[in-house]
Structure 1
Amino acid sequence: MIVKIARTCASVFALVGFSALAPLPAFAQAEAQESATVDDGAIIVTAQRRAEAQVDVPISITNISSSALETASVQQLADIGKVTPALRFDFAGGFFQPTIRGIGTAVTTSGGGGNVGIYIDGFYSPNPLAADFDLISVDSIQVLKGPQGTLFGRNTTGGAILVSTREPNTNANSFEGRASYGRYNEARAEGFANYVISDRVALSIEGQYRRGDGWQHDISSGRRVGEYENWSVRLGLKAELSDNVEFLLRYKHGDVDDPSTMLASSLDTSDFGLGAPFGGIPGTYTTAKNRIATGSVDEFFRSNSDVVQGTIRADLGFADLTSYSQYRSENTNMSQDLDYSGADLFQLGLPNLNETWSQEFLLTSKSGSKLQWTAGLFYFENTDTYVTFIDNAGNDPNSRVRLGGSSTTVKSYAAFIDATYEFTPQLFLTAGARYSNDKIVDAYWNRAFVATEVPVPSISDNKLTPRVVLRYKPTDKTSVYASFTKGYKAALLDVGGSCQTPATNFVCNDVRPEDINAYEIGFKFEERGLSFETAAFYYDYKNLQVSIFRTATAELINAATSEIYGLEGSLHYQLTPAFQLNAGASYVHARYKTFNNAPVYVRCAGLDPVTAAGCAASGVTFVVAPTTLTDVTMQRTPEFTGFLGARYETQLGGGELALSGNLFHSSSFFFGPSGIQFRQGGYETLALRAQWNAPEDRYYVALFGDNVTNSRYRTQAQYSSYGIGANWSKPVTYGIEFGVNF
């Protein structure tokens, strides 16, 4: 590891030294590319890896400002679903799984990753166990809809989420902080400090702390459960090495102790024709929204992470160069009751060690010419190792019984170019392509109850993902486009599933890459305080990767073919200087056209006597019945989602009072991987906030409420052969917040 760190640091500082030698002009444009801003009334985004007005970008984009995040009570990344049509966030245990327009099948395995790429300040964050995080010092979040395989690469089949945060600056010393307290003894504090060292060097430090008591009760012990405590700190150093070269170095450490995703009640499976959990034996389970039934061993989720990132921006005269160098170390430990009862049937321990190295070089043309282009090189390496335990006797190191484990190392190399040519002031053609080589090497799984490693042969795939867009501008403020894009999710080795299964004679399933062809037509308008965009889309989607959760494994298969089409739109309207509206809605028709061997969960007791006896001998309650399905709904895809947000500002007491709210609606959908099981009905949530800012914005005080409608809905259905569990939404929360700025 020391050698790797030294090698990466050497490459970073070598580039710094090389760039500093060139006597080139300033790099204001490159610096502006890092976040979405408002420039002369136009919203500026970086969806095409260069700074452009959103109205000119032929991609469906939900751009969320810091004020919109505040209005919707967004604290963690998963909360942005409340202000983003067609976006869902789900969890499988601690695994974070976003879905955009139906693309986001649940995969939990070594090296699996998600279908939606998450980028923080230009850096790819691949680990689904660390992808949901508390948001601090965020300038904006851009959600790109549809496959982004050309510009953002592998595993962006559904889209990409771009998070932009504040950087150190040499303008002035400053500090911003806020603290809040709310229901369930929830306390939160965060701060951002900027210190100017010289006219070319600045330092920043930011931190966040959040804790609470939880809101559920354990029927076995009668005590409240779900207490959590999370904190993080990040240091930033920004230096202008010359008039043309800038260097930003960041280090972040995070620590999470939050069992909430582990705490599931039993799903009332009688609602789905499967009978009461555990045959209806009283006292062994609960289906109540605010209750769980746990055994003698506690569930938990703990993680700590260290991230080092180096960004170099240089003006080369003919183009702007940006280098992104990253190292991530994320260690997770969790324990989950897979029968969701107090019966101590099976509790799984699952430590995970995840290490990522990435390097990207991005070259972007100067503005002003008829040809605008972006080119880049990308390298990515991720080692993902799991160790599994039986935690029935306890989850301290001396009580755990080794069950198995698995590991993979993923390496990806890519080169890409994307260009837009202006034929006339009204007509534009964009074309691009990305060539990628993905490898999985050094893979193995562990035999049950021993640490013996069984190697698995390496695999390699090459992919070309092109993009073509024709765009027409009737006026300077409107844009119409038609696009074709291709995306893919890399092939997987099923080291955590079929490789370990005697039923397959320990032969791994062939889990092919996902493949998507996407067609979209869209319209955008932006003028005089009104921005509006709408798009219609059609996806031809093949080889979806799906996890089948049985006992202690998650076997992977490919769902054969799917079809997705729909329509969505969003608007921002500044009705008056004091009153603004934000709204968005999406209709998504997502169907498995053909799903061979679809995993349908059935109760053992309802099977033939021989199979039922085998189930009883193995101690399981449910088995997976492979079923061929046609024209059924896709997993986790509501047909309709929408939101309406409003903000009103007025002068009060020499300061400013801002009243804001955000209403979100989702129609019904199915959690089950087959798309026909474990239905969640439609629901709404409402967030409200009243904030008073003192004169000169030196401090503020705010009252807030989230889910004030007290909507109770399932946030996740968790399924295995031992039981079917349900996580529920948090009840209404409210509190008070104070902030300072100087």
Structure 2
Amino acid sequence: MRVSKNQIINSSFLNAILLSAGCIFVAPLSFSDEASNSIDEILVTAQRRSESADDVPITLTVQNANDLRKAGIVDIRDLGNAVPGLSFLGQGAIAIPAIRGLQSFSGQAGTEQPTAIYIDGIYQPNQWSNYFDLVDIEQIEVLKGPQGSLYGRNSMGGAINITTVKPQYETKGKVTVKLGSYTGSDHNGNDKSIAGYVTGPIIDDVLAYSLSLYARDMAGYLTNDVTGQGTGGHEKWFARGKLLWEPSENTSIELHFFKTDRQDLETFATTALNGNSSAAFWDDGIVASRAWHVATELKGGSQPLLVKQESFSLKISHYFDGVGTLTSTTSANDYQTEFTVDLDTGTSAACKATFVCADFFQDYPSEDFQQEFLFTSDPMGKLSFVAGLYFYENDAGFDGNFAPVINSTGYAIRDQSLAGFISGSTVFVESQALFGSLTYEISDQLRLTLGGRYNDESIVGVGTYSGKVFPNGGELSDKTFTPRVAVHFDISDTLSIYGSYTEGRKGPILQSFSTADDYADYEDVEAIELGIKASGDNYRFNGAIFSYDYKNFQDQVWDGSASLLGNAESAEMQGIELDLVVNLTEALQVRAVASHLDTEYGPFEAAAFDTPNTPFGMTQVILQMEGEQMKLAPELTYGLSATHTTNVGAGELEATASVNYNDEVWFDYRKRVKQDDFHTVNASISYKPRSDGDLRISLYGTNLTNEAYFATALLGNSSDAPVYSPPRQIGVSVDYGF
């Protein structure tokens, strides 16, 4: 067998991390000579209480605002560059945070991802709105593996906990202004944003506030091949307000409000891969096939996306002296998502007349209500625990218009269909869960954790126009207990190991597009994990190996006559993850992360569209997937970054560079819509004067090698339609804190 140059390089990189980690274990004091090189302890709330990350028997990655800035991470989709085992490859405009290969590809109303996203403790169920910029962030914790014993809702694959700026009794704030330019495509576009927050007292030590604002105006880096003009811009803004009232030393009340609006011609900007579109077969057909080019008849030649969200939450905490803290969190979210998809990702009136080439307008309104009661105990001798009660209701709507009339501005008229096909439905979900985790100190070095989650859930759909109840004329219901067992052993003050067995379960998906009776039933995972954590004055290392048995996973499956929403039998995942941070000197910090993931489908018949394409679309083929690698599950990913800080004149000069590697992945079972392996390079240099206030001026570059790689893809019988990630961007950022 021939070994490629990339395989040699990638194997060498993984071995280098393992060798470095081994050196730490053999000679842990070798990095501890200079106290000035120290790495601060990381405090997390992964187990619903504040504690050192080294004491948590969970594989996790923590990033604060400064870490994100140095890594050039401004969008949640970039988070995988800093978190081994996490990817944000998607389908269309759906946000799919996949940890260790666990993911869902459905665009049906009410679909939730197996990896849960929480913002300030509030679950974010809407997968259409979970692409967002990371501003006003205090800390992000990414927990891997099923987390049902700690959270009341969907965390079968893991959890991403995002904590934003909190109200404080000291007046302070920060403003960040960025001006960038995309220089790697045929149409350069400017990218302007301003973000800021302010916090301070209203009544000293009693009442405080925080207010965060963000606005971004991106002109676009795409070329519309229909007009030859630039396109692909988006405008977005958000406002987040918080009030903190502490009427007594033991009681705190927080009120949160969040509102955002996004008008987007970038996220869903598809291109015909290798020109594969049915529109190309017609004399009037215009098809874009180059990276960062589009050619639909919709707004700007792209596919317009509108996302709005309003959220309220109320958190009340009371500490009972010597016993523990009881917290009530109440929240309500209101989402509105509208977009129009050009299924052939081209322009051809002749093809549109056949309805092979067609547009599809989709509207996904949803509302959810959440209530959680959480008790966090004080240590009771050798025992401590958390216990929670969680209620969840979600009304997720879908309104669809196949072949809508397109107005003169390129937007769909939602109630006018050329094909006469307008559909709609609402999926109703109700869930109650009891969850908890108990830790017992068997000895000074050994701790045992037992946990579990009992979930009682029902889901049913109702057609908007037909009144049909689906599936099968009645609701689906489930009552299930999923356990967790973990042990954690401190070998020394700087080295510990842990192991866990955890089960997870995720709710069903209904066929909301057509109110059909086919559905994907519950899916399950059994996860085994072994990990190691080491830390000293100048280094931190985390490593884990894991094995997952993924049962009844949800997908489109072949039932012998048609491809239907359903469950495949099984899949397996095994892998290793490594995360190493070392302060080599007072001035130089190096970080290396890597993930090796081995996935394999069990017995599974899948359907895929196959070439050659024709004026009337592609045909469907049936594939036996047993033994094949899972789609959108890269085998190897890694990243290496270095930050050098030095004093220059009357200030501090900081330079950071990072390189990230992603192995090949494919978006379809035929493995035709394939993204080859690629590297990306980011860099920044900043200067911080030593003066009053907190000023930092930065020059940054992202995707400096201008790699054209897929962020997501839309697949159908009339086209292969990936969306390319942004090209190279060069920009200037000014941060001022006070």
TM-score, normalised by the number of residues in structure 2: 0.87
Whether the 8 Å CA contact 1:269–1:277 is kept in 2: the answer is no
Helix, strand or coil for the counterpart of 1:81? helix
Q: Does the Cα contact within 8 Å between 2:54 and 2:533 map onto a contact in 1?
A: yes
2:416 to 400, 404, 411: 400
Give the structure 1 partner of residue 35 of structure 2: none
| 1:29 corresponding residue in structure 2 | none
Counterpart position of 1:6: none
1:695 to 690, 695, 704: 690
The corresponding residue for 1:359 is 371
1:225 paired residue among 216, 228, 231 = 231
Partner of 1:327: 332
Alignment pair present for 1:303 and 2:317 = no
1:62-118 superposed Cα distances (whole Å, 9 cap, x missing partner) = 111211211122112111111111211123222111111111131211111111100
Change (3 A) 1:163 1:554: farther
Contact 1:202 1:237 in 2 (8 A): yes
Matches within 5 A, 1:101-120: 101-120=100-119
Asked if the contact 1:346–1:392 (Cα under 8 Å) also holds between the matched residues in 2, the reply is no
Contact 1:185 1:212 in 2 (8 A): yes
- State the 1:283 CA deviation: 4.9
Equivalent residue letter for 2:621? A
| Residue 374 in structure 1 maps to residue 376 in structure 2 | no
Q: Structure 2 matches for 1:670-709, cutoff 5 A? A: 670-672=666-668, 674=669, 676-696=671-691, 697-709=693-705
1:675, 1:438 → 2: CA distance? 36
Give the aligned residue type for 1:559: A
Whether the 8 Å contact between 1:106 and 1:547 is mirrored in structure 2 is no
Q: 2:139 is matched with which residue?
A: 140
8 Å Cα contact 2:152-2:434 kept in structure 1 = no
Between 120-129 and 194-203, report the one with greater CA deviation. Answer: 194-203
| Cα offset, 1:197, TM superposition | 0.9
* RMSD value, Cα: 2.2
1:733 to 725, 729, 736: 729
Shift of 1:554: 10
**Structure 2 residues not aligned, in runs of 5+:** 1-37, 182-188
Query: Which residue is equivalent to 1:77?
Result: 76
Deviation at 1:488, TM superposition (A): 1.1
**Could you tell me how far apart the structure 1 residues matched to 2:656 and 2:381 are?**
42
Of 528, 533, 540 in structure 2, the residue corresponding to residue 524 of structure 1 is 533
Q: CA deviation at 1:547?
A: 4.6
Matches within 5 A, 1:525-544: 525-544=534-553
C-alpha distance in structure 1 between counterparts of 2:667 and 2:298, whole Å: 29
Residue in structure 1 matched with residue 663 of structure 2 by the alignment:
667
Residue number in structure 2 paired with 1:178: 176
Bigger drift between 636-645 and 391-400 goes to 391-400
**Which amino acid letter does the alignment assign opposite residue 686 of structure 2?**
Q
| Distance 1:555-1:96 versus aligned 2 partners, 3 A rule | farther
What is the aligned partner in structure 2 of residue 410 from structure 1? Answer: 429
- Secondary structure at 1:325 match in 2: strand
Residue number among 466, 477, 482 corresponding to 1:460 in the alignment: 477
Pair 1:632-2:617 in alignment:
no
Letter in 2 for 1:524: K
Structure 2: how far apart are the matches of 1:594 and 1:522? 30
Count of residue pairs the alignment pairs up: 669
Q: State which of 713, 716, 735 in structure 1 corresponds to 2:709.
A: 713
Query: 1:571-630, CA deviations, whole angstroms, 9 ceiling, x for partnerless residues?
Result: 12122332212211010001112112x122124769xxxxxxxxx7xxx51243333321
For residue 198 of structure 1, what is the aligned residue in structure 2? Answer: 203
Q: Which residue of 2 aligns with 1:651?
A: 647
Q: Which of the residues 285, 288, 291 maps onto 1:286?
A: 288
Q: Distance in 1 between matches of 2:394 and 2:92?
A: 21
Work out the CA distance in 1 between the residues paired with 2:279 and 2:524: 38
**Residue 255, structure 1, aligned to residue 255, structure 2:** no
Contact 2:610-2:670 at 8 Å conserved across structures: no
Kindly provide the amino acid, as one letter, of the partner of residue 468 in structure 2.
V
**Deviation of the 1:180 alpha carbon:** 0.8
Question: How far has the Cα of 1:40 moved from its partner?
Answer: 9.7
Separation in 2, partners of 1:649, 1:297:
46
Relative distance call for 1:669 and 1:330 in structure 2 (3 A) is same
Deviation at 1:675, TM superposition (A): 6.8
Q: Once structures 1 and 2 are overlaid, which stretch shifts more, 242-251 or 553-562?
A: 553-562
Question: How far apart, CA to CA, are the structure 1 residues paired with 2:405 and 2:133?
Answer: 32
Distance 1:662 1:40 in 2: 20
C-alpha distance 605-142 of structure 1, shift in aligned 2 (>3 A): closer
Q: CA–CA distance in 2 between the matches of 1:652 and 1:74?
A: 26
Query: 1:564 aligned to 2:559?
Result: no
Amino acid at match of 1:151: L
Q: Is the 8 A contact 2:279 2:344 kept in 1?
A: no
What are the ranges of 5 or more consecutive residues in structure 1 without an aligned counterpart? 1-38, 501-507, 607-615
Q: 2: CA distance between counterparts of 1:316 and 1:601?
A: 61
- Structure 2 CA distance, aligned partners of 1:513 and 1:276? 36
Q: Residues 548-627 of structure 1: matches in 2 within 5 Å? A: 556-596=565-605, 598-603=606-611, 620-627=616-623
Structure 1 residue 398 displacement after superposition: 7.0
1:494-509 alignment runs, 5 A limit:
494-496=511-513, 499-500=515-516, 508-509=517-518
Residues 53-132 of structure 1 aligned to structure 2 (within 5 Å): 53-132=52-131
Cα distance, 1:160–1:153 mapped onto 2, change above 3 Å: same
Distance 2:210 2:132 in 1: 20
CA deviations 1:554-581 (Å, max 9, x no partner) are: 9522122101001111012122332212
CA distance, structure 2, for counterparts of residue 267 and residue 382 of structure 1: 37
Indicate the SS of the match to 1:261. Answer: coil
Partners of 2:414 and 2:608 in 1: how far apart? Answer: 37
Cα distance in 1 for residues equivalent to 2:130 and 2:136: 17
Which letter maps to 1:481? Answer: Y
Q: Residue by residue, what CA displacement relative to the aligned partner does 1:115-171 show, whole Å, maximum 9, x if unpaired?
A: 11001111100000111212221011111112222222443221110101111111x
1:243 counterpart = 2:249: yes
Does the CA-based 8 Å contact 1:635-1:675 persist in structure 2? no
Q: Name the counterpart of 1:9.
A: none
Secondary structure, counterpart of 1:651 in structure 2 = strand
**Which amino acid in 2 is paired with 1:228?**
H
- Of 482, 493, 515, 2:499 maps to 482
| Partners of 1:83 and 1:664 within 8 A in 2 | no
Task: Report what 1:158 is aligned to.
Answer: 157
- Measured against aligned partners, the alpha-carbon deviations of 1:514-566 in whole angstroms (never above 9, x if no partner) come to 100001111111111211011110001111112589xxx99522122101001
- Identity %, equivalent residues: 29
Once the two structures are superposed, residues 386-427 of structure 1 have per-residue CA deviations (whole angstroms, 9 ceiling, x without a partner) of: 111133433354773252122101111000121111111111
Q: What does residue 8 of structure 1 align with?
A: none
What's the secondary structure of 1:105's corresponding residue?
coil
Query: Which residue number corresponds to residue 312 of structure 1?
Result: 316
Indicate conservation of the 8 Å contact 1:373/1:418, yes or no.
yes
The code of the aligned residue for 1:328 comes to: N
- Give secondary structure in 1 for the equivalent of 2:347: coil
CA contact (8 A) 1:115 1:155 kept: yes
| Aligned partner letter, 2:610 | V
The answer to whether the Cα contact below 8 Å between 1:599 and 1:627 also exists between their aligned partners in 2 is yes
**Could you say what secondary structure the match of 1:632 adopts?**
coil
The answer to whether 1:514 aligns with 2:523 is yes
Q: Distance in 2 between the 1:301 and 1:438 partners?
A: 32
Structure 2 residue 439 is the aligned partner of structure 1 residue 430: no
Residue 445, structure 1, aligned to residue 458, structure 2: no
Separation in 1, partners of 2:116, 2:670: 23
Which moved further from structure 2: 556-565 or 690-699? 690-699
